[in-house]
Amino acid sequence: MNINQNQICTFVKIKISKMNENTIKNFSTQLIQSVENKEFVKCTLGKISSSAKDLQNIYIKAIELKSNVMLSFTFRYARRDEVKNFSLSEANDYMLQALGNEIFAADLFTTSKNYFLKFNKKRIAQIIEQKATFSQIVNLQHDKLKKRYISTENNIYLQRLEIVGNNGQILKNKEDKFKQINKFIEIIDSLIKDISFENEIKIIDMGSGKGYLTFAVYDYLKNNLGLNVKIKGIETQEKLVEICNSIAKDSQFENLSFEQSNISNFNETDIDILISLHACDTATDDTLYQGIKSNARLIVSSPCCHKQIRGQMNKSKKLMQINKFGILLERQAEIITDAIRAHLLELQGYKTNIFEFISAEYTGKNLLIVATKTATEIKTMEIKSKIEELKSLFGIDFHYLEKLLEENENDQSWRNLNPVCHTH
Ligand SMILES: C[S@@+](CC[C@H](N)C(=O)[O-])C[C@H]1O[C@@H](n2cnc3c(N)ncnc32)[C@H](O)[C@@H]1O
C-alpha cells in the first residue's frame, strides 16, 4: 500500500542509517508478530516532531473487523482524535515510514515482553526490552468499551426512530447510524467547550431528515451538559417534519422543533451553531451559506453527493486521462468541491478544517467540514487567488457556494453582525 494516500499525516522522508533501519524493522516485526501470536496488548508512538502539525501521540490497539485482526491507530491531536484502521501489512508499512522520520519513541507492550524503541541525541535507534507488564491481552471486540454520548436506555426518541428496540438494544441495521451520531456528538462536545455563549444557544440542523442527529444533539447538550439550547431541524419533507415534531413532544424536548422549509429559503440570521449531516449536493452549500450569513460561531457539516462541479470537470481537457474513469472523476469532484468550500469559508473569516469523522466502514460519506468563526485578519486576495488557481486547474466555471456569496456581495448587511478585518 502507498501509505501516503491513506494515512492521516504524511512524512517528509529523511535519510535513515542502515543500522537504524534494522532496529526499526526489528521493532515493527516484534509488533506484527505479537499480534499474530495473540500476545499484543498495546503500543504508543510519541516524541513526534513539530512538522507533524499538532499531532501529540498515536495509540495503537488490536481490533477484530469482519473476522480480520487489524490495528486501529488513534491519532491524537491537540483538540481531536482521528482513527484509522490498518491491516497488519499496512501497519508495518506505516511504522517503517514513520519511525525515525517524524516519530522518535515507541512503547510496545506484549504478554511476553515490553519493547521500548528510543532514539538518543544523535538520533541512533535502540530497542530496550523489559519483563512484560501485562499477562493478558485485551478483548479484540471493536469499539466495545467506547464511550457512548447518548444513552440508549429508556430513550423514547431512539425507540420511535427505530434505532433501538424496546429493550434499549441498538437494532442490527442501525449500528452504523448510531456510531455516526455518537461520533458527531463527540466532536461537537469537544468543539463547543472552546466557545463561550452568554445567552440561549440557537442551533439549526439543515436537512434534518428523520432527525436522528437533531434529537441526539439536543439530548446531549440539554440533558447531559445542561446547556440552554434551542434547536430547530429544517427539512423539505412534510411527513418527516410532522413525525419529528410529534416525537419531540413525546420526549418532552420543549426547545426542539422541526420546520418544513427549503434550506435556501431559510431566513433566520441569528444562528449560533449550524450542523448538517449529509445534506445532498448543493444543499450543503446552501447550508454553509446560511451559516456564513448568520455569522454562526460554529459550522459542522458532513457533505454528501458532490454533483455540481462534476460536469464542468469532465470537460476539462487537462485532466482527461484521470477524469475518463468515472470513479476517479467522482472522487476528485468530492475533493475539489470541499476544498473550495473550505477556502470560501476562510474567505468569510472561518478557521476551517476537513477530516474523516468516522471510519469509512460505517459510512463512505465520512468527511466533516468544521468551521469556527475567528476575528483574525482575512487574507482576501491570497485566498481568492488560491480559489481561482484551483478552478482553473480543474476547469471549473463556478462553484455553487461561490455564486451564492457573489450574488449577495452587494447586500453586505449580514457581515456587520460581527465585523471581521479584511485586507486587500
Ligand atoms: C441524506 S438525508 C440526511 C438526513 C439526516 N441529516 C441524517 O443524517 O439522518 C438528507 C435530508 O436532507 C433533506 N434535504 C435535501 N435538500 C434539502 C433542502 N434544500 N432543504 C431542506 N431539506 C433538504 C432531504 O429531504 C433529506 O431528508
Cα–Cα distance measured from residue 384 to residue 11, given in angstroms and rounded to the nearest whole number: 29
All three cell numbers of 388, joined, read 481561482
Residues with CB under 6 A from ligand 1: 207-210, 212-213, 234-237, 262-264, 277-280, 283, 286, 304
> For position 139, what pLDDT does the model report?
64
State yes or no: pLDDT of 415 exceeds 50. no
* pLDDT tens digit sequence for 89-144: 999 999 999 999 889 999 999 999 999 999 998 889 999 999 988 887 766 655 44
Measure 262 CA to ligand 1 centroid, in angstroms. 10
- Per-chain mean pLDDT for the chain: 87
* Contact status, residue 129 vs residue 113, Cβ threshold 8 Å: yes
DSSP for 57-98, written as a single string? EEEEEEEEETTEEEEEEEEEESS-EEEEEE-HHHHHHHHHHH
Cα–Cα distance measured from residue 388 to residue 34, given in angstroms and rounded to the nearest whole number: 51
| Percent of the chain predicted with pLDDT > 70 | 89
Q: How large is the average pLDDT for residues 203-213? A: 96
Measure 263 CA to ligand 1 centroid, in angstroms. 9
Query: Whose C-alpha lies nearest to ligand 1, atom 1?
Result: 278
The β-bridge partners of 108 are 43, 115
> For position 285, what pLDDT does the model report?
94
Measure 38 CA to ligand 1 centroid, in angstroms. 45
Measure 207 CA to ligand 1 centroid, in angstroms. 3
What angle (nearest 5°) sits at the alpha carbon of residue 65, between those of residues 61 and 69?
Answer: 55
Does the domain formed by 156-423 have CATH 3.40.50.150?
A: yes
* pLDDT tens digit sequence for 283-303: 999 999 999 999 999 999 999
All three cell numbers of 238, joined, read 412534510
Indicate which atom in ligand 1 lies nearest the CA of residue 210.
9
Query: Whose C-alpha lies nearest to ligand 1, atom 23?
Result: 207
Measure 235 CA to ligand 1 centroid, in angstroms. 6
Measure 278 CA to ligand 1 centroid, in angstroms. 7
Q: What's the chain's Rg over C-alpha atoms?
A: 24
DSSP 219: I
> For position 77, what pLDDT does the model report?
83
Q: How large is the average pLDDT for residues 329-339? A: 92
Which residue from 380, 314, 323 is spatially nearest to 347, judged by alpha carbons? 380
All three cell numbers of 163, joined, read 434505532
- Ligand 1 pocket test: pick from 263, 266, 404 the residue with the most ligand atoms within 8 Å of its Cβ: 263
Q: Where are the domains of the chain?
A: 3-131, 156-423
